[in-house]
Amino acid sequence: MITTLLLSCLMMAGLFLMLLAAVGFIQDKRLFTSAPEDVQAVILPKEERFPGAHAVGWGMMALALAMMGGAFVLGGADGVKNGFTFWGFFLRFLTMLLLLKAYDILFFDLYLLCHSGFFPYFYPETKDHVGPHQFGFNRKSHLIQIALCPAVSAVPAGICLFF
């Protein structure tokens, strides 16, 4: 269980790194499709913060994806080493995904979007559009993603059985 929690934290760190790369360095409006529509509407095109900022951001994005994918690979490898059954793998991957989704809802949506100055720091034009009234704007998307977690967990769990 400790390994599963540590791997979940690795995925959470990767998700935050991905957000920081997109918002702080890459700053391409196409990466903000999950933001509230009124926030998307007021975001203005940005110049590169400093020479090479976009390259740094894409490097951070690649690292974030590697961290998140690596957590699944490490979780699978550890499960193979410890003789997990399908259900052991399935529960590990499901737990990791559900904890990641909880982190997304509580930290990204509730804290960063609604109660911190994270987005207005990078995009001052969003200051009047972010706040507690935004919490739950993507409720349907979250529910769909939560409903898909068992199926998404079953795929790597089945793959791990071949090793």
C-alpha torsion angle, residues 152, 102, 138, 32 (rounded to 10) = -80
pLDDT in tens, 63-91: 999 999 999 999 999 999 999 999 999 99
Instruction: Specify the pLDDT at position 8.
Output: 97
Instruction: Specify the pLDDT at position 126.
Output: 80
Instruction: Specify the pLDDT at position 46.
Output: 80
pLDDT band at 51 (very low <50, low <70, confident <90, very high): very high
pLDDT band at 43 (very low <50, low <70, confident <90, very high): confident
- Which one is predicted more confidently, 11 or 36? 11
Q: Which residues fall within 8 angstroms of residue 18, CB to CB, at 6 or more apart?
A: 60, 61, 64, 65, 68
155 CB-side CA count, 13 A? 7
